Amino acid sequence: MRRLLKDPLLWIFLVFALYPAIPYIGNFISLGSELLLWFIFTLSFNLCLGQTGLPSFGHGAFYGLGSYAAAITYLKLSGEGGGFLAPLVGGIVVGTAAAGLLGWFIKDKRGVYFAMLTVAFTQVCFGICWRWDEVTGGEAGLSGIVRTTFLGIDMKNLHNFYYLCFVVFVIAALIIRSISRSCFGLSLQSVRQNHIRSQYLGYNCNMYKFVVYALSGAFAGLSGALYCLLTQSAFADILDWSKSGDVVMATLLGGGTVSFYGPIVGSLIFIICKNLLSSLWDHWLFIYGMSFVIILCLFPTGLMGVFKRRAASKA
Amino acid sequence: MSLFKITGLTKRFGAMAAINDVSVNIEHGGIMSIIGPNGAGKTTFFNLLTGFIKPNAGQILYKDQDVTRLKPYQIIKYGISRSFQVVSLFEEMTVLDNVIVGTQRNMGYMNRLFARYDRQKDVRDKAMDILDRVGMAHMAELPAASIPHGDRKILDLSMALTTNPETLLLDEPMAGLSKAERLRITNVIKTLSQSHKVILVEHDMDLVFSISETILVLHHGEVLACGEPGTIADNEEVQSAYLGREVA
Amino acid sequence: MLTLSLFLNGIVLGLVYAAVALGFSLVLGVSGVINFAHSITFTFGAYFFWAMYKHVGYLPAMLLAPAAVAVIGFFVERLVIRRVYGQDPLFGLLITLGFAMGMEELIRMVFGPATHNVDAPSFANGVIIFGNFLYSQYRLFIALVAAIMVAAVWLFTEKSRYGTVVKAGMFNSEMVGALGHDLYKMRIWILVLGSFIAGLAGILAAPIWSVKSGMGSSILMPSFLIVLMGGLGSIPGTLVAGLMVGITLSMGVLVAPRFVDIMPYILMGLIVYFWPRGLMGQQNIIE
């Protein structure tokens, strides 16, 4: 019990279970949902970056393709009053497939080359979604998605939808953390820390990179699908590489390379800045960009890195 | 059946042949050492045997099985394991976790998605067992980056043991060690040679001649001589190529 | 005729890309930093030029604006880039990307969000006529200036004594010290030079693409991929890769006008995938 109470994840769950009751911020219920989606997204991204050392600059592609998949599944298959599940499954399937496809081809690439091939991939996906009017709606995007009922709960109500996201987040976070602490997670760590040694212990490193990339794509696709249902639309701009850059930056800022909770801290800062700071001052990106530079120059392991070092020096 | 049967092995870097048409049978007999002057091709030969680089031509048979073009993670399965000259560890893990990475792979736990790696008792016991054998059990919980260089060398070696190898290839296990540490590693290698076939590349001539049962001498990418330490020391060609310089 | 003018457009575009990529490549080679803040020097060049060319005249502004950008480059090196020397190239990439994001916002803050137009200079405002073929004089002017820039950098690294040291440093930065030059000073000078080139490229592009705060980030990724495509440290490689991208972008319209944007990325992806060292590269620091 005491160990459970010390678990930071429990406290994160508690805070977000009570989110709608938090004064001021609690009023922005869509912001809360977006936060939860970003948590899922960046946590899954960090399976690549922090756990396996894969610098993917193309995760926005899986998020974006997931949201298109959800929209198309909804419009073509479920239609008005149709199921809620099909779009989510569609997002997961497409996210996994896209990441698996890309991962299969670039699993033996490293560092900058890996990163740039993911950029090329996401830009190609972006270009296709932006121009393929018949399927993706082109520049206008897809709209007409309506959240209906799910398991008898009215999803038009934003609070109900928030709690759906919350449940998905809880499940996803528990799964991802359990993976990161598992035997498989240790195998991934070994690939990141020393891939040559790892091979001489019998690990087929490229295969692990491929599997974790596809796995991460599944969660990215899922969060993209939820994003589509949240905004009731799908647009191409989330596939641009700069959006993937935001994910990498937020994860690094939070300290994803040293801590499981880094992505959560990072997305909290990024999403809050993007949605709240921007309403106070148009040029919030100036502050965000400069703070990113200053913090990372001073503490290369990010915010959780500072926290961890403090804890270590106290102990 | 030879341990290694090598025929026509050639590795070129650009125009230079680091290993030139080497054919040799390595019979098993206790500890074997590969020696030769700098630039003789020892490291290249070692890397070819362990699948780290691919030869331009030739064949390597390990106990009559072709292992010539296998990748490192495949060669492990034949019972070949290696250590590294420049210590190669998982620097952000503890000593124990470094070994667990190997033992969990060996015991088939490596793909378990939802089992905590640090709670697998048999994997952990096996890892502690290995650390115990090399006398490092008391360091198990220390970060690998924080322990002294001699212990890091031994940890590197004990990681090579996790794959349950029959043959251990050690790449300059003495490099950069103090006299006391050399003695310690020599004892570890002697102990290991009772249960494993050991092949080493080494510069330390005292060690090579004191513990080897067979010595293979490489010179200009070719095999100059192969035999017992006594015959090698008396071999005039070897003396002129290599030992001669030290004697003179 | 359309084909010919698209082809020429492609070459013009390619030369501009190549010029920007050259600065990128020089900095990456000598300093080991993937400097994504390179994009803001391109933008700053265009904005400074827009702000001054009506007051000081076209040609003086073409020298003054890049000079001002070079000064900015100096401060960027002192404030940000020197902190990431010797670190993982991707870490440097992210730091400079964050910096570029902030600076791009600063540009919006100072110059406003509107898009500005720059007139082509009076001496190159017309068209050139060959028989029944018409081509914009200004585009030829751009090609000329960009080609001079590329040639100047090439001459600098091939013929001048300091330039040969720079070239050696692009393959092995330890060589710089061994040849008796101060590596830290060289890194500053190369960044200043790279900024100057990018600033000038921004000016050349201004009348065609118009001046806006996002112009740098839209050229950033293509120019970095051109560096990888051409091969690190190879000036001819960068030039060839730049021309390939430029021509693909403009000629692609004939093949699939809707999907022309993705063609250079497919091209880059294939080249980087199959030839990791690029078209004319040698072994380098980011492998």
Average pLDDT, chain A: 85
Rounded to whole angstroms, how far apart are CA atoms A44 and A49? 9
| pLDDT at residue C148 tops 60 | yes
Its pTM stands at 0.88
Q: What confidence tier does A173 reach under pLDDT thresholds 50, 70, 90?
A: very high
Chain A positions touching C272 (Cβ under 8 A) are: 113, 116-117, 120
* Sequence ranges of the domains in chain C: 2-274
Q: Which residues pair with B197 in a beta bridge?
A: B167
| CB < 8 Å from C in window 132-161 of A | 132
Give mean pLDDT, residues C175-189.
Answer: 77
Measured distance CA(A52)–CA(A70) in Å, rounded:
28
Q: Among candidates A207, A205, A199, A198, which has minimal Cα distance to B72?
A: A199
Q: Residue C218: pLDDT band by 50, 70, 90 thresholds?
A: confident
**By percentage, how much of chain A surpasses pLDDT 90?**
28
Which residues are within 8 A (CB) of C135 and not within 5 positions of it... i.e. 6 or more apart? C5, C8, C127, C128
Can you give the CATH number for the domain in which A110 is found?
Answer: 1.10.3470
For A267, the domain range is: 2-314
A309 vs B contacts (CB less than 8 Å): none
- Confidence band for C282, pLDDT divided at 50, 70 and 90: low
Residues of chain C contacting A, Cβ within 8 Å? 34, 80, 83-84, 87-91, 93-95, 97-106, 108-109, 217, 221, 224-225, 228, 258-259, 261-262, 265-266, 268-269, 272-273, 276, 286-287
For C247-263, write each residue's pLDDT tens digit. Answer: 988 888 888 778 888 88
Which residue, C151, C159, C162, C141, is CA-closest to C238? C151
**What are the pLDDT digits (tens) for A287-307?**
888 888 888 888 888 888 888
The whole-number pLDDT of residue A169 equals: 92
Q: Among C176, C158, C164, which residue's Cα sits nearest to residue C236?
A: C158
Is the confidence at residue A242, as pLDDT, over 90? no
> CA B127, CA B151: separation in Å to the nearest integer?
16
Report how many domains make up chain A: 1
Burial (CB count <10 Å: 0-12, 13-18, 19+), residue C27? buried
Q: Which chains touch B (3 or more CB pairs under 8 A)?
A: A
CB contacts under 8 A, A 213-242 vs C, are 241-242
Please give the DSSP secondary-structure letter assigned to residue B199.
E
Secondary structure E strands in chain B: 4-13, 16-26, 31-35, 57-62, 65-66, 80-82, 167-171, 197-201, 214-219, 222-227
Chain A residues whose CB is inside 8 A of the B91 CB are 193-194
Q: How far is CA A51 from CA A212, B118, B171, C19, C271, in A?
A: 9, 16, 30, 38, 29
pLDDT at B248: 35
- CB-nearest to A193 from B76, B90, B109 is B90
Which SS3 state, helix, strand or coil, does residue B174 take? coil
What distances in angstroms separate CA A253 from CA A32, A54, A249, A266, one per listed residue?
Answer: 20, 17, 6, 6
* CB atoms closer than 10 angstroms to residue C89: 17
Tell which phi-psi region holds residue B79, choosing left (phi > 0), alpha (psi between -120 and 50) or beta.
left
Torsion angle defined by CA atoms of residues B158, B159, B165 and B167, in that order, rounded to the nearest 10 degrees: -70
Reported ipTM: the value is: 0.88
Q: What is the pLDDT of residues B141-196, one digit of tens each?
A: 889 888 888 888 889 989 998 988 888 998 888 888 888 888 888 888 888 888 88
Query: Is the alpha carbon torsion for C250, C255, C257, C259 positive or negative?
Result: negative
Is the CB of residue A305 less than 8 Å away from at least one CB of chain B?
Answer: no
Q: Which two tokens stand for residue A24?
A: 């001021």
Q: Would you give the DSSP letter of residue C123?
A: G
Task: Give the containing element (helix H, strand E) for A246.
Answer: helix A241-254
Q: Using CB atoms, list chains with 3+ pairs below 8 Å to chain A.
A: B, C
Residue type, A2: R
Can you tell me the distance from the alpha carbon of A34 to that of A38, in angstroms, rounded to the nearest whole number? 6
With a CB-CB cutoff of 8 Å, which residues 96-125 of chain B face chain A?
97, 100-102, 104-106, 109-118, 120, 123
Options 1.10.3470, 1.20.5, 3.40.1130, 1.10.10; CATH of C2-274: 1.10.3470
pLDDT < 70 stretches in chain B: 1, 29, 242-248
Q: What is the pLDDT of residue A82?
A: 57
Q: Cβ separation of A293 and C98 shorter than 8 Å?
A: yes
What gap in Å lies between CA C164 and CA C176, rounded to an integer? 10
Q: Is the pLDDT of residue C222 over 90?
A: no
**Bigger pLDDT: A26 or A80?**
A26
pLDDT confidence tier of residue A210, bands split at 50, 70 and 90: very high
Confidence class of residue C3 from pLDDT cuts 50, 70 and 90? Answer: confident
The strand pair at B167-171 and B80-82 is best described as parallel
